[in-house]
Amino acid sequence: MVRAMQLLIQTVIDGLLVGGLYVAISIGFSLAFGILDVVDFAVGEWVVLGGFAGVAAHTWLGIDPIVFLPAVFVIFALIGSLVAPLIYRVRTSRYARPALMALAFTFGIAMLARGTMLTTVGFDPRTVQTSLVGGTLTIGGVHMPWLRLAGFLFAIVTTALFMGFLFFTRTGLAVRAAAQNKRNAGLMGIDVKRLSTIVYAIYAGLTAMAGVLIGAIYTFTAQVGPQYSLLAFFVVVMAGLGSIGGVLVAGLFLGMLQALVTVYVGADYTLAIVFGVLFVVLLVSPQGVLRRGLAA
């Protein structure tokens, strides 16, 4: 009885810690959706690319990946700022169906990234090696690896920074306005294209940083991108596409759900159950469980 209780608590804590990382990979993604009005199917690839950047830092440069995090942010923000104008161009083009074309475009970018990674590093599983964070914190019989705690902390800090950016800076206000109504924002002199680029760059850098941490916690291969995309989709659909606050709740919920399913049902069923929950959410409450848009 006591052990069952302990297992439950341990599972929930594990889940929450992982959930933090899901928040980190979904929050920029959600905002990028809000402003570009395109679901970026490459989100999971940014995670994996980040993971490989961490591996490269360790093996090639001999730098600890945790120390390398800021550099990862800068590199991927730069790459993101090259991709964003292209997505923007497709999305705002006079093509027959710009929304569809933009979706397919990010899908193509994801394939390009995945194929390139598979070609260069193959199918071997990797982990990001760090010597800075190790060991386990144990409180009342519940074990919390410091690495996971660090990941969680990272998620909390980035979320807070992001919220601060959105609600307390002028650019953040412009972003929120543009996410609400692109035409009006344009009329008010907001350069939506520039904003999209900024937001997408931040999102790519942030997600890649989260990828480094995820790669330190779990082994990964060049193929797992789609799975992380799926998790990010789950979070933003639960939250309501474009909602930032909801991402926090939905991300933690996903982490817990996954941990509980893994322990009590079996790891093989996680995707199926995640999909099942997603389906029910779409059926009952397509605006997201929290029913709040970006404005909230």
Partner 1 sequence: MTSRTAKPGRPAALVVLPLIVLALVFGTLPMWTDDYWIRVWTGVAMWAGLAASWNIIGGYAGYISFGHVAFFGIGAYATAILMQPGYDWNFFLTLPVGAVIAGLFALIVGWPTLRLRGAYFAIATWALAEALAQIINTLDFTGGSFGLSTPGNPSTWFFYYAMLIATILIYLLTFLLFERSRFGYKVKAVRDNEAAAQSLGINTTAVKLQAFMLSAALPAVLGGINAYWITFINPQSVLSGEVTDQMVVMTLIGGLGHLWGPALGAFVLYLASTWLGAEYGGSTSYIAMIGALLAIIILFLPDGLIGLAPRARGMKLVRKMLGLSGAPGGGGAGTAPPGGRP
Q: Which residues bind partner 1 (CB under 8 A)?
A: 33, 38-39, 41, 86, 89-90, 93-97, 99-101, 103-105, 107-116, 118-119, 122, 226-227, 229-230, 233-234, 237, 241, 266, 268-272, 274-276, 278-279, 282-283, 286
CB of 152 to partner 1, least distance (A): 26
Whether residue 209 contacts residue 50, with contact meaning beta carbons closer than 8 Å, is answered with yes
Burial class of residue 127 in the structure, from the number of CB atoms within 10 Å of its CB (0-12 exposed, 13-18 middle, 19+ buried): middle
- The structure tokens listed for 279 are 């389906």
CB of 120 to partner 1, least distance (A): 9
Q: Of the two residues 16 and 48, which places its CB atom closer to partner 1 in the complex?
A: 48
CB of 1 to partner 1, least distance (A): 31
Burial class of residue 133 in the structure, from the number of CB atoms within 10 Å of its CB (0-12 exposed, 13-18 middle, 19+ buried): middle
CB of 8 to partner 1, least distance (A): 24
- The structure tokens listed for 288 are 């997201």
CB of 292 to partner 1, least distance (A): 17
CB of 29 to partner 1, least distance (A): 12
